Amino acid sequence: MFAAQPAQWNVVDESQVDLGNGKGSLQAARKAIIGYYNEFYQRDPSEVDLQNSLQMYEYHPEVSLEMIKAGIHNSAEYEKEQNEIASVRLKKENVERQPVKDNRAEAENVIIGYYHDLLGREPDDAGLQYWLRCYQQGVSFDEIKEGFLSSQEYRDKNRSRL
């Protein structure tokens, strides 16, 4: 038989325990990950996706919430969704565009300029490649700039000006 739990013992919710390495609790990570899915997909993650993300965060000290957010943002699902949105928008505007394959160097310089001027940082490789693919698929520089201006990163960096 087990003895009754002494009154001075505190029952600890393991989801609230600080993971160390400045990571905070699993409960906070869970809320953040659900928020990322809502931000990018306008839905909650599946239980499998949520558990996979939480396990990566909990068991791999080098994995931060920012890395998980970037992984969700750079996923094939998100890119497919964004391509579908862009396709619908282009059809709705009744604008036909031909893929632009030339001028990659010019496009890269313009996009890097947006990172510097609007976000105040060097581009990450995944982000730069994403915007170059958009350009090659016919998205204009004005639309790319609008993408930067409507990003959460831009809003966060310019909160006092908005």
pLDDT per position as a tens digit, 47-99:
998 998 888 888 888 888 888 888 888 777 777 777 777 666 666 554 444 44
Is 14:26 a contact under the CB 8 Å cutoff?
A: yes
In a domain, 63, yes or no: yes
Question: What residues have CB less than 8 Å from 162, skipping those under 6 apart?
Answer: 155
Indicate the SS3 state at residue 152. Answer: helix
Q: pLDDT category, 30, cuts 50, 70, 90?
A: very high
Location of structure tokens 């809003």: 155
Query: Average pLDDT of 2-21?
Result: 45
Indicate whether 63 and 129 sit together in one domain.
no
pTM to 2 decimal places: 0.43
What's the confidence (pLDDT) of residue 15? 43
Indicate whether 62 and 86 sit together in one domain.
no
Indicate whether 60 and 91 sit together in one domain.
no
Distance in angstroms (rounded) separating the CA atoms of residues 8 and 31: 31
In a domain, 135, yes or no: yes
Location of structure tokens 């496009």: 107
Indicate whether 102 and 127 sit together in one domain.
yes
Indicate whether 59 and 96 sit together in one domain.
no
What's the confidence (pLDDT) of residue 116? 93
What's the confidence (pLDDT) of residue 17? 43
Is 14:27 a contact under the CB 8 Å cutoff?
A: no
Is 15:27 a contact under the CB 8 Å cutoff?
A: yes
What's the confidence (pLDDT) of residue 129? 92
Is 52:108 a contact under the CB 8 Å cutoff?
A: no
Query: Average pLDDT of 33-48?
Result: 88
Indicate whether 65 and 45 sit together in one domain.
yes
Indicate whether 142 and 96 sit together in one domain.
yes
In a domain, 10, yes or no: no
Indicate whether 68 and 116 sit together in one domain.
no
Q: Which domain covers residue 135, as residue numbers?
A: 76-157
Query: Average pLDDT of 139-158?
Result: 89
